[in-house]
């Protein structure tokens, strides 16, 4: 599976861009999955639900399944946060996994940058940032893409990840 990330400061538009890139890649015939990193404690379960009660009782993992979807809830219970590689090993094979966040991990990523957020560019100090998508013209040493041109961003991802060649070779 190919991996491509999106990094940037909060409010830069990472989620908006990823939400546009996913259907554009799918429309071009690629299977896409995502990993979203958060620094906040989160829960996708609710008190009173059986699955929540299973976790509260101490289960390490709980699988919730139904006709439309399934989810695996894993409690770290004091263990270190899993790495991207750990998460990828648990995922079904697809053409590409888009990763939002994990800006300190060394996977190839596109920086989403908006000067109005008031934060510095990440790319000058991060060799894993291989391009920047922005609303402004920037003085950067990596390719710059217009943030509002989804086709240009998708073309860049496909070319960088060599997805067409990967498909020709039958790999996923």
Asked if the structure places residue 52 within a domain, the reply is no
Quick one: what percent of the chain has pLDDT higher than 70?
93
| pLDDT value of residue 15 | 94
Structural domain harbouring 30: 2-40+81-168
d(CA 61, CA 55): 7
Asked if the structure places residue 68 within a domain, the reply is no
d(CA 156, CA 162): 10
| pLDDT value of residue 133 | 98
The number of domains in the chain is: 1
pLDDT tens, residue by residue, 107-159:
999 999 999 999 999 999 999 999 999 999 999 999 999 999 999 999 999 99
Q: Per-residue pLDDT for 172 more than 60?
A: no
**What's the whole-model pTM score?**
0.87
- Is 81 or 140 the better-scoring residue by pLDDT? 140
By C-alpha distance, which of 98, 99, 137, 102 is closest to 121? Answer: 137
| pLDDT value of residue 166 | 64
| pLDDT value of residue 73 | 81
Asked if the structure places residue 50 within a domain, the reply is no
Q: Read off the CATH number of the domain in which 13 is found.
A: 3.40.50.300
- Is 172 or 112 the better-scoring residue by pLDDT? 112
pLDDT tens, residue by residue, 39-56:
666 667 778 888 888 988
Asked if the structure places residue 49 within a domain, the reply is no
pLDDT band, very low/low/confident/very high, at 18 (cuts 50, 70, 90):
very high
Residues with Cβ within 8 Å of residue 81, at least 6 apart in sequence? none
d(CA 155, CA 157): 6
pLDDT, mean over the chain: 90
């Amino acid at each position: 599976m190919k991996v491509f990330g999106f990094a940037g400061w909060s409010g830069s538009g990472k989620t908006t861009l990823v939400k546009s890139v996913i259907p554009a890649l799918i429309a071009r015939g690629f299977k896409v999955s995502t990993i979203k990193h958060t620094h906040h404690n989160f829960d996708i379960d609710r008190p009173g639900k059986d699955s929540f009660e299973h976790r509260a009782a101490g289960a390490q993992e709980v699988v919730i399944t139904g006709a439309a979807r399934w989810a695996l809830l894993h409690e770290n219970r004091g263990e270190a946060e899993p790495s991207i590689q750990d998460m990828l090993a648990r995922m079904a094979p697809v053409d590409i996994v888009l990763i939002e966040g994990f800006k300190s991990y060394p996977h190839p990523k596109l920086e989403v940058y908006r000067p109005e957020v008031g934060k510095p560019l990440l790319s000058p100090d991060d060799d894993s940032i291989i391009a920047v998508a922005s609303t402004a013209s920037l003085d950067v040493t990596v390719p710059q893409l217009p943030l509002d041109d989804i086709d240009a961003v998708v073309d860049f991802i496909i070319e960088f990840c060599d997805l067409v060649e990967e498909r020709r070779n039958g790999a996923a």
